[in-house]
Structure 1
Amino acid sequence: MAGISMETCDSLNFYKYLCQRIGSEEDVKIRRLAFVIRDIGRNNTFITSGSKGEGLNLNGSDIDVMFIDRCAQVYESEAEVVIEGKRLPFIMYTEDTPPCFTQLYLLTHHQNQELVSVSVSLLNMLDKNHLGYAFSSELYKLFHLSNAYRSSKIHGPCISDEFDQHDLAYCLKCDTWIRQAKPWISRPRTAWPSPELISKIISCETLTTILKNIYGQGINCFAFSETLQDYQNQCYEINESIISKNNRCLQHFMPLYCNILNSGRVESFSRLLYDFLHHSRTGLSKGLFALQISAAFKVVPVTTTYPYSSTNRKHYLMYKNDLSHLMIGLHSDAISGLLMLASFFYVAKNYLASLTVLTYTMEKYTDEIIYLRVFNNRSIHYIKQHVVKLTNKEKLHTILKSLTTCSFEVDHNSSIVPQELQQDVASDCTIFHPLPFAHFLRFLCCYHLHDISSSRQSLQQLEHVQWTLSEGGTLVSHPDSLNTVIMCGIAHQLLGDIHSASHAFLETAARDKNNETSAASRLYSLF
């Protein structure tokens, strides 16, 4: 770097360090795009924000999600109110508030008609004063905390989980640009910051002192950053091959992709299709859209409960509808879509078709497959050579599809749940690890085909997989780990081995501290 100033050299080195630590500009763009597409598929109520939403996957950072509360609507003035269903209209009041803050008042009457009857539950989120019913953010958070998991807690404006990995902020939305924000639309961007803003910054002596000190330290100011303090100890590669670049990109993106898939289902495939057709311009966005669209189609048979019908025509139409969705859902990942199809055939009592799909699925379930529910970076390290081969010739969305699998997730009374597992989804959804579920489903097919020898062989494979995944102990992921042992118990029970079945159910019930599984009730039914 001859002829380059010390400041420029430091800046270039720091840029390369950031590329190693948080990813390149392309990595950040991919992460941001993936979250945006995910949000599109979640019925327009979720907005991923914070550092991860901006594409920055920093160690220790949580996932920040804004949830748009559709029960309320905010207006700047009473004149703008439009009555929409049963949404509660709130009016902004900024007279006695600091800059960037507002009070919200519930509009109970509009144009001489009563809009809202203030119920007891609504009163629990409002404060009464001389202007009427004022919205209380503190009471609002306490209301949502009461409906969250028992281990959740209030963290600033958010509801957080016990491990501080997810922050959920419940938000009320105003559909128009408020008066204070309108200048942002038309002002020339080169004029920022304005002289007034500069004056305000200068008038803040403490902030000015901090900024001067940071400027004087240059890049060394990051030595005090918990996240970036080790930048001086890093080595910097000037050149990077395409293969190593793609491999690094995958390593940076995979943890976030895992978070995206584990953060909830994509259900609104109609919105995904619309945005895919009208707004997707690049190959990258089209590939990521394709993955999410497939995942959304795959969910339809999982969440669908059909009304009882005795006509063959209705059953045929339902069968064709589910089958068409499942065929599209095959392209979401390597394994789970195939398992759903196999389970669909099993429920339809087409055991031979189910076994055919299962045979193909087991051939694809190699050591290179990454189970995203318990993903960590070591998962990629173990299959590094395979990843290098893929990144040399495949696009990102193809790599993600061929490398990963999600859990097998089913809802209450889903049309693809085997009858033997209906008890496990009697009141809520549950998940199964794909590999043991595949062996269990093969056991069921062989059992109903009266192939007892193959049934016993499948049971042995199921128990071997259960032991292997838990390394002879306890799996770290619930409830799929507990459901694996339950499947072993069901198989033993069907074969008449009540002793082994009761042992499996007893073991699971002992580990099921929150009574999330059917283990206790199954154990009770044996006696």
Structure 2
Amino acid sequence: MNLKDKNISMQLHKYLCNIVGSEEVVRARREIFDVKDIVGSNIFVTFISSGSKAEGLDLQGSDYDQMMHINFVRVYESLNCVESDPYKTLLFMDTSDTKPGFTKLKLVNKSYFNVIDDWCETVGDETLISSKISREQGLPDGMIIHGPCQSTEYYDAANCLRCKEWITPAQHWIHRSRTAWPDYTLVTSAHYKLESVKSHGKVLSASELSCYSYLNTTTLSFISESIYSSIKRLVNRELSTYTLSVYAREVLQSFHLRNMLAINKLFYQQYKRSFCNFKMSFRSFSISSLLLLASLFYKCKRYEECLVMINYSLSRCSPNMIHLKFTNNVVEQTVFKEMKHRYGLLLAIKHLLIEHVYFRYPFCLLPDELIPLIVKKNLLIPPVVYSYLLQFLCFHHLADYKGKQNALHDLELTIRERYFILDNVTTSRLVHVSLDIVKTLL
């Protein structure tokens, strides 16, 4: 490569880094999705992040793709290849009377774990897997069918069944050329494009900030020592710690806490376990974790302690904090990148980012008075709104009328000024319903 071509190549590399991120940023994104897959997987399903985001390329307008591999199902290319396995549901491919690239999956047996029984259709003497049923079954609220996936605006999820062998139509992929791209003419023609997009303004290297939103969508219901050990073995210790704090926050809202009001030996065991998870979650989720702890105090009728946690949480809220979402703007990415470089990932997340207080089914930490807010299996409440809601409820039980009036005034001011309230229809409806609930208790 001559000097001119080398300079063009370096310009192209720098230009692409400004779009998709530097080598460090791309590596960080990949690690985020590796961790998400480890945490989300279990003995029944293995999650595999795919697409541009999992490759570390957070391109504008791209969504997050995830494959869900059903572990107890095995696919074979033909019936003659099938090996007996009583612990797996066995399928074989029938490509007769199908278009290229498509196949019919026929059931060979039923295993102890009949995880795909509901996907089956009987046609004559044969049992086939229905792709339509597999996509439509258990379709969550807010998701639609998009091709082979269950989808939202930002997320595509596809059920996958694995064939461990290279099937005949894919044999030529094994030896396909990996050096045919990029063509030399493509590299040399990049010079004009680079010159045409030059700007004298500030150019920002892309940040991995928005990808942390996908890690926070992980849903867990039990503690697995193998998962815990797998995360701890990851090279990036700060990312491992952050992931464990996400994990701990999920466990806090598991079904094990539903009987927290029964004052007995089981209550104290659950209470102690809850505090261990809270301690872990504080490594990164400062304000949202504090408010969940305040909710635990409220559920246990420890109203004074609840008020202390609320006041401390409110003191931590700052107008300069950043809402973590799928599409953070250039300024937010720049601030996060600089703070992470200076203080590290954990401190940047803990002191710079703020999130809605997240409740999920069975809503064991949500105050009973706020049950009318539930319309789906997840509930997100703006942090300052929830702080004053919980503060009002505490004063209500303490029969402090002046405290109730002050909390109501602060709640109305928060809603009017939209303090830490994202502009969307769902949030607006929720905060106004919250205000109505409070007014009924005056």
TM over 0.5: yes
* Contact 1:41/1:268 (<8 A) preserved: no
Aligned mates of 2:84, 2:254 — CA distance in 1: 36
Match of residue 8 from structure 1: 6
Question: CA offset at residue 20 of structure 1?
Answer: 0.9
State the Cα distance separating 1:433 from its structure 2 match: 1.3
Aligned match of 2:197: 233
Structure 1 residue 411 displacement after superposition: 2.8
How large is the RMSD of aligned CA atoms in angstroms? 4.1
Question: Equivalent residue for 2:254?
Answer: 303
Cα distance in 1, alignment partners of residues 141 and 245 from structure 2: 33
The secondary structure found in structure 2 opposite 1:64 is strand
Alignment equivalent of 2:277, drawn from 325, 328, 332 = 325
Give the TM-score of the pair, scaled to structure 1.
Answer: 0.71
Aligned counterpart, 1:293:
244
Where do 1:85-484 residues align within 5 Å?
Answer: 88-92=89-93, 103-108=104-109, 121-124=118-121, 132-135=126-129, 139-145=130-136, 147-148=138-139, 152-161=143-152, 163=153, 165-174=154-163, 176-178=164-166, 194=175, 197=176, 215-220=184-189, 232-234=196-198, 252-261=207-216, 263-266=217-220, 269-270=223-224, 271-277=226-232, 279-281=233-235, 285-306=236-257, 312-373=264-325, 376-377=328-329, 380=332, 384=335, 388=338, 390-391=339-340, 393-425=342-374, 428-469=377-418, 476-477=423-424, 479-484=426-431
CA distance in 1 between counterparts of 2:426 and 2:197 reads 42
CA distance in 2 between partners of 1:17 and 1:52 (Å) = 19
- Percent identity of paired positions between Structure 1 and Structure 2: 25
Q: 1:375 to 1:364 in 2, by over 3 A?
A: farther
Show the 5 A alignment for 1:27-46: 27-44=25-42, 45-46=46-47
Query: Which residue type is aligned with residue 23 of structure 1?
Result: G
Which letter does structure 2 place at the counterpart of 1:352? E
Deviations for 1:404-446, whole angstroms, at most 9, x for unmatched residues?
1332122344332212113434873322111210111112122
After superposition, the C-alpha distances for 1:357-396 in whole angstroms (9 at most, x for unaligned) are: 1121111111122222475215617x84x874x3453112
Query: Residue 57 of structure 1: CA displacement?
Result: 0.7
Distance in structure 1 (CA, Å) of the matches to 2:32 and 2:2: 37
Query: What is the Cα deviation at residue 148 of structure 1?
Result: 2.4
SS of 2:127 mapped into structure 1: strand
> Closer, same or farther in 2 for the Cα pair 1:30/1:408, shift >3 Å?
same
What is the alpha-carbon distance in structure 2 between the residues aligned to residue 323 and residue 346 of structure 1?
A: 14
Q: Is the 8 A contact 1:305 1:413 kept in 2?
A: no
TM-score (normalised: structure 2) = 0.83
Give the corresponding residue for 1:61.
62
User: What is the aligned residue count?
Assistant: 435
Closer, same or farther in 2 for the Cα pair 1:170/1:310, shift >3 Å?
closer
Contact kept? 2:359, 2:378, Cα under 8 Å: yes
Deviation of 1:149 after TM superposition, in Å, equals 5.1
**8 Å CA contact 1:333, 1:400 repeated in 2:** yes
CA distance in 2, matches of 1:487, 1:88: 48
Question: Which of these residues, 80, 85, 91, is aligned with residue 82 of structure 1?
Answer: 85
Does the Cα contact within 8 Å between 1:412 and 1:425 map onto a contact in 2?
no
1:486 to 415, 433, 440: 433
Letter of the 1:482 counterpart: R
Superposition deviation, residue 146 in structure 1: 5.6
Give the conservation status (yes or no) of the 8 Å contact 1:17–1:231: no
Which string of whole-angstrom CA distances, capped at 9 and with x for unpartnered residues, describes residues 247-282 of structure 1?
x66x51112222432x343556534421133x323x
Alpha-carbon contact 1:16-1:236 (below 8 Å) kept: no
**Larger RCO: Structure 1 or Structure 2 (Cα < 8 Å, ≥ 6 residues apart)?**
2
Can you give the 5+ residue segments of structure 2 that lack an aligned partner in the other structure? none
Q: Secondary structure of 2:189's partner?
A: helix
Once the 2 structures are TM-superposed, how far is the Cα of residue 56 of structure 1 from its aligned partner?
A: 0.3
Distance in 2 between the 1:181 and 1:411 partners? 45
Q: Which runs of 5+ in 1 are unaligned?
A: 185-191, 202-207, 224-228, 238-243, 496-527
Aligned CA distance change for structure 1 residues 71 and 144 (closer, same or farther; 3 Å): farther
Please state how far the C-alpha of 1:221 moved relative to its aligned partner: 6.2
